[in-house]
Chain A
């Protein structure tokens, strides 16, 4: 093939490849049903995360304000970043035995890497993940949370 015909065939194939590419973008342009973007702040009420989504660490409480945490501190030792602090107390039971109860279960969201080791290793399944994801606050002290609610106690049959 001489250079003259090659020049024009190159131009032809070049234009053809451009038109093929533009046909793809054109197809999406004229079919608005395929739009996948979300209008985020507007759809906040309808937006639902998956049930296993790791948003925020919580300690589930039942209707009597009771949780399952024994204050053993396994989550604290397993946490790689020191984002969990368990402060526990010892109380004397009526029968003379001493029992450890939880005073404060402190969770630093700012240090958490969401590795889920605390939830996995907890022997009494006291911790779980919440589906909230809007964590932005104006003051970083708000990122330190106390997970057990005030006045809460442990469910009776948990050892």
Chain B
């Protein structure tokens, strides 16, 4: 009698089935399609399908001049638009051996860090929301609004700035810039404590994030998982430390490292990085030197013939730009090594044998931006 009841139940449990998570799913943060092979509720295999928001940015770069490429890179990782612009500018300036004014370096570093805080705040908001804490979403967006106001006052746009230009900046920052940034730092120091009180210590959050999706250091290096996700596994991969650009070799900051490699450590790395970013801004904001906001550049930029590579630390990891030039005003080939695309590769490895609800937490902790994956 016992055998008759048990047999059909077992055969159903052992069957594997596929589920499409996305392309229209709120927790994939965009049009990412994950084909998940499940056994019951346990993820056995995961295959990401990209390309739903492919716009051919690399190909479009081949017809554009170097000034025009800037506005395309905004649209890759739109949450760290300044940092993407910075990569192109550094590439062009490095190839032409142009020395940009000190003022530009200061402002660029401050804006990059503000952008990193804004990106991490939006990530914190959506991470909380994915794990069921909708309040986080409102609080994170409320604080991010202050950074967007700083951006909007200085150069008129909130998300896609196109503010950097090869050789300097589009225009000088607004006279209120320093005061507003200082006000924001004072404000945000208080609010980050709220983040810790609401989410970091919450028992439900700890249960769902500790020990979930463990990414070992070896795996992180093998898959090239950079940025806060890689540093959560103890891999020191910060480009700001390894290959300093702008003012990063002159300011003091700590490279945040954690060694557990689970979702919680990736979370804590980002929270601590917000604090480190504020430290960097505090060191720079009071001594912005006077001077030009742009170096003298020719109206038509032609890079010398050759191959160039430039990497910067975006909010998600290493953003690398590889460029081949034949001496004309357009590049022959542009290749972007975007952090989200590389980080997506490891999602299959670390989410196996986890529950499908954990997959949502792991995917959110890798901080994927889908237009950055597809470009």
A117: B residues at CB distance < 8 A? 67-68, 71, 162
Would you give 7 A-B contacts (Cβ < 8 Å), ordered by A?
A14-B203, A20-B201, A25-B135, A53-B156, A80-B64, A115-B68, A115-B71
Instruction: Among B67, B72, B157, B194, point to the contact of A24 (Cβ < 8 A).
Output: B194
Assuming the A-B contacts A18-B203, A36-B142, are A50 and B152 also in contact, with contact meaning beta carbons closer than 8 angstroms in the complex? yes
Interface string of B60-94 (1 = CB under 8 A from A): 00001001101110000000000000000000000
Q: Give every chain A residue within 8 A of B153 (Cβ-Cβ).
A: 50, 52
Shortest beta-carbon distance from B275 to chain A in Å: 18
Cα-based distance from A49 to B203 in the complex (angstroms): 42
- 8 A Cβ contacts from A56-89 to B: 78, 80
Contact in complex: B156, A129 (CB < 8 Å)? yes
**Nearest 5 interchain pairs by C-beta:** A14-B203, A115-B71, A54-B156, A80-B68, A52-B156
The reply to whether B202 and A21 contact each other, CB–CB distance below 8 Å, is yes
- Cβ 8 A contact of A52, one of B72, B174, B194, B199: B174
Q: Number of A residues contacting the other chain (C-beta, 8 Å)?
A: 26
In the assembled complex, the CB of B317 is this many whole angstroms from the nearest CB of chain A, namely 26
Asked if A54 and B157 make an inter-chain contact with CB atoms under 8 angstroms apart, the answer reads: yes
Taking the complex as formed, is B155 at the interface, i.e. its CB lies under 8 A from any CB of chain A?
Answer: yes
Secondary structure dominating the interface of B: helix
Which residue among A15, A116, A129 has the maximum number of chain B CB atoms within 10 Å of its CB? A116
Which of the listed residues A25, A54, A115 has the most CB atoms from chain B within 10 Å of its own CB?
A: A115
Q: What are the interface flags for A108-144 relative to B under an 8 Å C-beta threshold, 1 for contact and 0 otherwise? A: 0000011111001100000001000000000000000
Closest to B64 in A: A80
Neighbouring B residues of A129 by C-beta, 8 Å:
156
* Interface: B197 (CB within 8 A): yes
Least CB distance, B214 to chain A, in whole angstroms: 22
- Asked whether any CB of chain B lies closer than 8 Å to the CB of A17, the reply is yes
A13 at the interface (CB under 8 A from B): yes
Which residues on the A side are within 8 Å of B204 (C-beta)? 18
B167 to chain A, nearest CB (A): 12
Given A14-B203, A80-B71, A114-B160, answer yes or no on A52-B197 (Cβ-Cβ < 8 Å): no
A7 to chain B, nearest CB (A): 14
**Interface positions of B from 169 to 214, Cβ below 8 Å from A:** 170-171, 174, 194, 197-199, 201-204, 206
Total interface residues on B, CB under 8 Å, equals 32
Bound-complex Cα distance A91 to B199 (A): 70
- Nearest residue, chain B, Cβ from A22: B198
Chain A residue at smallest Cβ distance from B207: A14
Q: Are A52 and B155 in contact (CB under 8 A)?
A: yes
> Nearest A residue to B203 by beta-carbon distance?
A14
A80 and B206 CA atoms in complex are apart in Å by 48
Report the bound CA distance from A23 to B174 in whole Å.
Answer: 38
Cα–Cα, bound, A112→B156 (Å) = 15
Q: Tell me if A17 and B201 are in contact (CB < 8 A).
A: yes
B198–A21 touching, CB < 8 Å: yes
Q: Does B325 sit within 8 A of A, measured CB to CB? A: no
* Other A-B pairs beyond A50-B153, A116-B162, 16, CB < 8 Å: A13-B203, A20-B197, A21-B199, A24-B194, A25-B198, A36-B142, A50-B149, A52-B153, A53-B157, A80-B72, A113-B162, A114-B157, A115-B68, A116-B155, A116-B170, A117-B162
Taking CB atoms, residues of chain B closer than 8 Å to A113 are: 71, 160, 162
Residues on the A chain within 8 Å of B198, using CB: 21, 24-25
Q: Is B154 an interface residue (CB 8 A)?
A: yes
- Measured CA separation A108–B198 after assembly (Å): 47
Q: Are A120 and B170 closer than 8 Å at their CB atoms?
A: yes
- Give the nearest-CB partner of B135 in chain A: A25
A114 to B70: give the CA distance in the assembly, Å. Answer: 12
Establish whether residues B202 and A17, one from each chain, have CB atoms under 8 Å apart when the complex forms. yes
Nearest Cβ in chain A — how far from B161, in angstroms? Answer: 9
Q: Within the complex, what minimum Cβ distance (angstroms) separates A54 from chain B?
A: 4
Complex Cα distance, B199 from A25, in Å, reads 12
Instruction: Check A17 against B145 for contact (C-beta < 8 Å).
Output: no
Asked if B8 lies at the interface with its beta carbon under 8 angstroms from chain A, I say no
Q: Which of chain A's residues has its CB closest to B198's CB?
A: A21
Closest chain B residue, CB of each to CB of A117: B67
Per-position 1/0 for A12-55, Cβ under 8 A of B: 01110110110111000000000010000000000001101110
Cα A15 to Cα B202 with chains together (Å) = 9
Task: Report if A53-B152 is in contact (Cβ < 8 Å); known contacts: A21-B202, A24-B194, A114-B160.
Answer: yes
Task: Pick the residue among B68, B142, B156, B197 that contacts A21 (CB under 8 A).
Answer: B197
Residues on A with beta carbons closer than 8 Å to the beta carbon of B199: 21
Residues 323 to 343 of chain B near chain A (Cβ within 8 Å): none
Query: What's the Cα separation between A113 and B71 when bound, in Å?
Result: 8
| Distance of B146 from chain A, by nearest CB (Å) | 10
Q: What is the chain A residue whose CB lies nearest that of B71?
A: A115
In angstroms, Cα B160 to Cα A6, docked, is: 51
